[in-house]
Amino acid sequence: MLYFTQIIYKAGVSEDRIAVLITPAKNKGGSYKWQKRENFMECETITCLVMRRDSAKLGGALMTNAVLQKNEEVLRNLLATLLEMDEADIVDCHLENPIELGKEIEGKECILDVKLILNHAKIINIELQVYKQTYWGERSLLYWARAYDSLKSEEDYGKLLPTYHIGILDFTLFEDHPKFMAKYQILDVEDGYLYSDKLCIKVLDLTQLEIARSQSEADKKLLKWASIFKAETLEELEQLANGEEVFENMVVTMKQLSEDEKIRMQCEAREDYERCLITEYNAGKQDGIELERKNTEKERLNTEKERQRADAATKKAAELEDEVKKLRAMLVK
């Protein structure tokens, strides 16, 4: 993708990422005009316009959702990996909430969860969440409950389907229990007896990828998918694909979707929205840290004042005691 950006110092832009360089040239009359420069090194430390060649971005969670929607082979491979099953056992996977690709959307109007019925027997909800949410654990339970409540008015409880909510998170859900892949179900707390196999919440923590890579027992397919989710550019994705057919097909599908201007703009708009949420979260977190620092400093100053008052009182008491001793000595004489 090519786009214009303004720079002040040439050190701020790498030469190999420049497609066209234009700098201001002074005319005889003293005015300036823009002229194309062939050599990057000819550019002085002056304001210039650069048409920059940037790496192709993946388009965030929405693009991933679009790929899974368009390419069933990729979806099947991901499902088999997340559910620890043989891909050949996936007979049918019906997408319940397809996105209308290319449609203009705003914020929460776009639900990025992938909800599907697997083999007419299981409800699967996959959520890719890149920014930290304080109440994600509670929300995942609510999402699971909504998906599980799938009975029609004339159906009995025996028709309820096992429901899986799978969170692919780029943050650690439980700081005191970090785990690359965790599986949660309802169990007897004493002997671990399974209450029901119809509730399952799985969490893939992408922040634990590097640690998982060093563990010999780690699932290689899961490691590959986690790396795919962490990739930020098509170039990275192509390197990770490394000749594997399913991932090569994923790259092809992503490129095809990226060529559609409406879809690309839709993905970029969603990515901007997510970036704003992250920025607001970090700003709020920083404000909280700053407030805590100020409160700590205020508390320290108050403590220091109390200490000074106590020292002054102790000193005064000592002085009074000395005066009393002197008076007693005078009376004795």
Task: Enumerate the domain spans of the chain.
Answer: 2-53, 60-284
pLDDT at residue 26, as a whole number: 46
Owner of token pair 């360089």? 21
What contacts 282, CB < 8 A, 6 or more positions away?
Answer: none
**Edge-to-edge strand ranges of the sheet holding 199-205:** 93-95, 114-118, 122-129, 163-169, 199-205, 181-184
Backbone angles phi, psi at 232, to 5 degrees: -110, -15
Report d(CA 66, CA 170) in Å as an integer. Answer: 19
Q: What does pTM read for this prediction? A: 0.64
3 state SS of 84: coil
Report d(CA 189, CA 89) in Å as an integer. Answer: 32
Q: How many Cβ atoms sit within 10 Å of the Cβ of residue 268?
A: 16
pLDDT at residue 42, as a whole number: 44
Give me the residues of the chain with pLDDT under 50, please: 1-27, 30-34, 36-56, 107-110
pLDDT at residue 268, as a whole number: 61
What contacts 232, CB < 8 A, 6 or more positions away?
Answer: 55, 57, 58
Report d(CA 111, CA 62) in Å as an integer. Answer: 9
Contact 17, 1 (CB under 8 A): no
Q: Where do the DSSP E strands lie in the chain?
A: 2-7, 18-26, 32-37, 48-53, 93-95, 114-118, 122-129, 163-169, 181-184, 199-205
DSSP 106-148: -GGGS---EEEEETTTEEEEEEEE-S--TTHHHHHHHHHHHHH
pLDDT at residue 287, as a whole number: 67
pLDDT at residue 274, as a whole number: 60
